[in-house]
Chains A and B, each alone.
Chain A
Amino acid sequence: MQLTQVLTYALRRLLQAVPVVILIMVGTFLLLKLAPGDTVDALVGDMGGADAAYIARLRAEYGLDQPVWVQLGRYMAKLIQFDFGWSFVYEQPVSAILWERLGTTLMLMGTSLSLAFSIGVGLGAIAARRAYSLTDNAISTLGLVFYATPSFFLSLMMILLFSVKLGWLPVGGLTDVAAFYTGWDYVFDVALHLIMPTAALSLIYLSFYLRLMRASVLEVADLDFVRTARAKGAGETRLMVHHIMRNALLPVVTLLGLQFSTVLGGSVVVETIFALPGLGQLAYQSVIQRDMNMLMGIIFLCAIIVVIVNFLTDLLYARLDSRIALK
């Protein structure tokens, strides 16, 4: 896998992605327009009412009095210049808010997914090696329990135990607002606030990796090349690490790519419960408030992330399995 080869591949993927993203944006714009009510309705609902002239003026100011195709044209023209527009709900440019929120969500998803991935893969491998033993049963049952627990329930139970009863961890938010920490104290404070949401998210994701890895290892362990390696005198550890794991990881990596693509949607519940200012919570609020520009911005960001993650997954695939070539 040479650098030029990767770059050409990347460029071609990028060009392929452009029409896809445009299609997604036009499609969602039209879909969102089908929802009853617009930004002004939501704003007026929040305000507790307003008179008709006021409402008409707001609508004109936001350009909502124009036909849908005019609104779409205006939006796409701005998007081409990477202008996400103005959020009438937040009274700020959409890009500023997206940028602020993206960090929190990426941090949360990054840590949760890597935790879930590494622990899940490890436990899955162990369970498969001791298939149908007590260890396997224990691990598999645990995975099943977390798999079956709704994330809101798990989150609330954790809050009840660790915050209300034991008082060890803060209930929610990103920082202790009244404390005004700076430097390392601040970092430590944020880390403390992220323990529960990260744990809640990763425990739920973990079960996916665990189950998939277990099945995958069991399957690979029966293949001919493993038998050959064993016959050639490879030790159990070497067999596991070099021959089985590497091949068993392929479907698990696919799952990682898929899950990372849902990075923005995946954390809605956890972000809402722990009052974390991330993109998931933002998306949810934006739907309720009919904040079109914001929603479109989020969807655009999602589309871009999906394209990038798919590209990276393909690279990883080629690295893991030499039979796959980048074309």
Chain B
Amino acid sequence: MMTTSRSAQIWLLAGAALAGLAGPLAGPAAAEEPQRGGTAIVHMVSEQRVLNPALRASTGVYNITGKIMEPLIDKSYDGPVGVLATDWSSTEDGLHITVNLREGVNWHDGKPFTCDDVAFSAMELWKPLLNYSSTLQQYLESVDCTDPHTAVFNYSQPMPLDLFVAAMPDLGHPVPRHLYEGTDIMRNPHNTAPVGTGPFRFVEYKRGQYVIAERNEDYWRGAEYPYLDRIVWRFIPDKSAAAAAMEAGEIHESGTNSLSMADIERFSQMDGFDVGTRGYENNVAHSTVEFNHRNPILADLKVRQAIYHGLDIDYAIKTIMRGYAKPGRGPIPSTGGANYTDDVTTYAYDPELAKQMLDEAGYPAGPDGIRFRLRHRPAPWGEYTQLWAEYFAQAMGEIGIDVEILTNDAPGFLNGVYRDHDFDTANGWHQFRSDPAVSTMVWLRSGSPAGTPWSNQFGWKSDEMDRMIDEAQAELDPAERAADYHAIQAKAMEELPVIFAIEHPFISVTSKKLHNHHNNPRWISSSWYDLWIEH
């Protein structure tokens, strides 16, 4: 028997969960007659350089290439939707996944899109070269093309269909085989001049300035789409200048917290702008507190619990995140669908209890009121992490822990924490990628080689947890799988290897001239075929 993919229940739950996060952003525009034509201008803080989502899995890359190259499967608020795939199914043993591909789709250079492209991309790019995908596709043996529009993915170990489908929007962009085969893939010129099947075709990438894509006249969804003539991404590194450009009407969209929180708040009170977190349900992140368990003080569970009790999460949400967030409940965010549970141990703000627990753990306050000192490394991922680190230091000071903040830029931070393990505590973001198996569990499982960023480099090791993670990873039945992940969350909240303190989606500022915006859970990365602009 074939298991079908459309486990509607997961997505209904996801929908219910995200309603709570939606914030004040207006929903998709009411049924108005879309206008054809016009140019949407999008703000980018930093340059993307490589424009190939089959080589670099990152939101910044999808933000541009998502309009030009399409994945097999995308996500909507009602569940997964086929883009270049129409249907998918798995054999009962989970070893073979069959994907039916859309017919009548052409690459931007006019060549037809077929299974050959998918098989080539999967074996030559997704499996060996794409970050995250090399773990996901670790057991992928081959991709067979039974006919030009049917691809069969063969695995040597069971691959849960749910995991495959959840990963495809981010990790399933095919490249045209005829432009990549026989070339040095990492140096292929199409990595910066992408050829795809999407609603917009690549025109120009002017480094340090802009990327332009224009309407694809041969789009498979029909001549009606896309509505826009052109999209321009402008690189504006200075946040204040970008806010001014937004205000002057020179840009229409600034996503993924690319403006300062003060400006975001200002725009939320101005006419003419939509501000909110809708459309980021698939990009929810956690603000964390990470422990170096090699430090015997922090290896003591009681100390970690005391630290959690010493943090006023609600205060941080109100001040640092300006309300666009909620308390974390473990490694999986509330938008995680059926795999999420909030039935876990929680740690209320109680500094007196925290002090008492530290006393009990054998760390009484010295004559100067200090119990012990910690060296803390904050990740330089913008305002949230810096302010959260400062709050952490301050809150710890109140319960007698002296925290020294060591600030680095990104390479310095990644080295200090993940390679040299030269820290006591650290904080950063951990972004959820729609399925806990994709990049979440590596935070809790032991055994990552030194130097792997965003992995368990904290020296925390639990054989029990490792076993639970491996079991969940191989579980094919969606209900069993969800139960496994609930158990993992409960354990993570009990043992606190990491504090997943605050769950926060990104925030967009959008000109009200744009319509049909933020209408799917990974909107900034999606194809924008139905976006239109008032003119």
**Residue ranges of A at the interface with B (Cβ–Cβ < 8 Å):** 35-38, 41-42, 44-55, 61, 89-92, 97, 100-101, 155-156, 159-160, 163-164, 167, 170-175, 177-178, 272-275, 277, 281-282, 285, 287-288, 290
Contact B134 A48 (CB under 8 A): no
> How long is the Cα–Cα vector from A281 to B235 in the complex, in angstroms?
12
Given the interface contacts A52-B452, A101-B208, A174-B209, does A91 sit within 8 Å of B49 by beta carbon?
yes
Q: Is there a chain A Cβ closer than 8 Å to B453's Cβ?
A: yes
Contact B192 A36 (CB under 8 A): no
Contact A159 B60 (CB under 8 A): no
Chain B, 227-256, contact with A by CB distance < 8 Å: what is the 0/1 string?
000101011111011001101101000000
Contact B132 A49 (CB under 8 A): yes
Given the interface contacts A47-B131, A163-B248, A178-B39, does A36 sit within 8 Å of B238 by beta carbon?
no
Query: B420's closest neighbor in chain A, by CB?
Result: A36
Can you pick out 27 interface pairs between chain A and chain B where the beta carbons lie within 8 Å of each other?
A: A35-B411, A36-B412, A37-B414, A38-B411, A41-B410, A45-B413, A45-B414, A46-B58, A46-B410, A47-B131, A48-B454, A51-B134, A51-B135, A54-B134, A90-B49, A91-B191, A91-B192, A155-B241, A167-B248, A170-B250, A174-B209, A175-B209, A178-B39, A178-B41, A273-B241, A282-B208, A288-B409
Query: B48's closest neighbor in chain A, by CB?
Result: A46
B439 proximity list for chain A (CB < 8 A): 49
B129 proximity list for chain A (CB < 8 A): 54
Contact A164 B410 (CB under 8 A): no
Which of B59, B250, B415 gathers most chain A CB within 10 Å? Answer: B250
B269 to chain A, nearest CB (A): 16
Given the interface contacts A36-B412, A90-B49, A170-B250, does A49 sit within 8 Å of B131 by beta carbon?
yes
Q: Is there a chain A Cβ closer than 8 Å to B529's Cβ?
A: no
Q: Closest 3 interchain pairs by CB?
A: A37-B411, A277-B208, A50-B131
Contact A160 B244 (CB under 8 A): yes
Q: Is there a chain A Cβ closer than 8 Å to B80's Cβ?
A: no
Contacts A156-B240, A156-B241 known; list 7 others, CB within 8 Å: A41-B410, A46-B58, A49-B455, A50-B132, A52-B451, A92-B192, A277-B206
Contact A273 B250 (CB under 8 A): no
Query: B209's closest neighbor in chain A, by CB?
Result: A277
**Residue ranges of B at the interface with A (Cβ–Cβ < 8 Å):** 39, 41, 46-47, 49-50, 56-60, 129, 131-132, 134-135, 186-187, 191-192, 206-210, 212, 230, 232, 234-238, 240-241, 244-245, 247-248, 250, 408-416, 431, 439, 448-449, 451-455
Contact B451 A55 (CB under 8 A): yes
Contact B234 A275 (CB under 8 A): yes
Given the interface contacts A44-B453, A174-B209, does A275 sit within 8 Å of B448 by beta carbon?
no
A285 proximity list for chain B (CB < 8 A): 46-47, 237
A275 proximity list for chain B (CB < 8 A): 209, 234-238, 241
B131 proximity list for chain A (CB < 8 A): 44, 47-51, 54
Given the interface contacts A100-B207, A171-B248, does A44 sit within 8 Å of B414 by beta carbon?
yes
> How long is the Cα–Cα vector from A275 to B454 in the complex, in angstroms?
31
A316 to chain B, nearest CB (A): 33
A50 proximity list for chain B (CB < 8 A): 131-132, 134, 452-453
B414 proximity list for chain A (CB < 8 A): 37, 41, 44-45
Contact A273 B238 (CB under 8 A): yes
> How long is the Cα–Cα vector from A100 to B238 in the complex, in angstroms?
21
B244 proximity list for chain A (CB < 8 A): 156, 159-160, 163-164, 171
B58 proximity list for chain A (CB < 8 A): 46-48
> How long is the Cα–Cα vector from A218 to B131 in the complex, in angstroms?
67
Contact B234 A173 (CB under 8 A): yes
Pick the residue among A159, A172, A288 that contacts B410 (CB under 8 A).
A288
Contact B49 A89 (CB under 8 A): yes
Given the interface contacts A45-B414, A91-B187, A100-B207, does A52 sit within 8 Å of B449 by beta carbon?
yes
Contact A172 B241 (CB under 8 A): yes
> How long is the Cα–Cα vector from A159 to B241 in the complex, in angstroms?
7
Contact A177 B412 (CB under 8 A): no
Contact B238 A51 (CB under 8 A): no
B452 to chain A, nearest CB (A): 5
> How long is the Cα–Cα vector from A269 to B286 in the complex, in angstroms?
32
Contact B230 A171 (CB under 8 A): no
B285 to chain A, nearest CB (A): 10
> How long is the Cα–Cα vector from A35 to B412 in the complex, in angstroms?
8
Contact B247 A164 (CB under 8 A): yes
Contact B56 A164 (CB under 8 A): no
Given the interface contacts A164-B248, A274-B241, A275-B238, does A36 sit within 8 Å of B416 by beta carbon?
yes
B409 to chain A, nearest CB (A): 6
Contact B241 A171 (CB under 8 A): yes
A125 to chain B, nearest CB (A): 36
A164 proximity list for chain B (CB < 8 A): 244, 247-248
Given the interface contacts A41-B414, A178-B39, does A173 sit within 8 Å of B209 by beta carbon?
yes
> How long is the Cα–Cα vector from A176 to B408 in the complex, in angstroms?
36
A35 proximity list for chain B (CB < 8 A): 411-412
Query: A166's closest neighbor in chain B, by CB?
Result: B248
Contact A46 B60 (CB under 8 A): yes
Which of A48, A52, A277 gathers most chain B CB within 10 Å? Answer: A48
Which of A44, A97, A178 gathers most chain B CB within 10 Å? Answer: A178
B247 proximity list for chain A (CB < 8 A): 164
B375 to chain A, nearest CB (A): 15
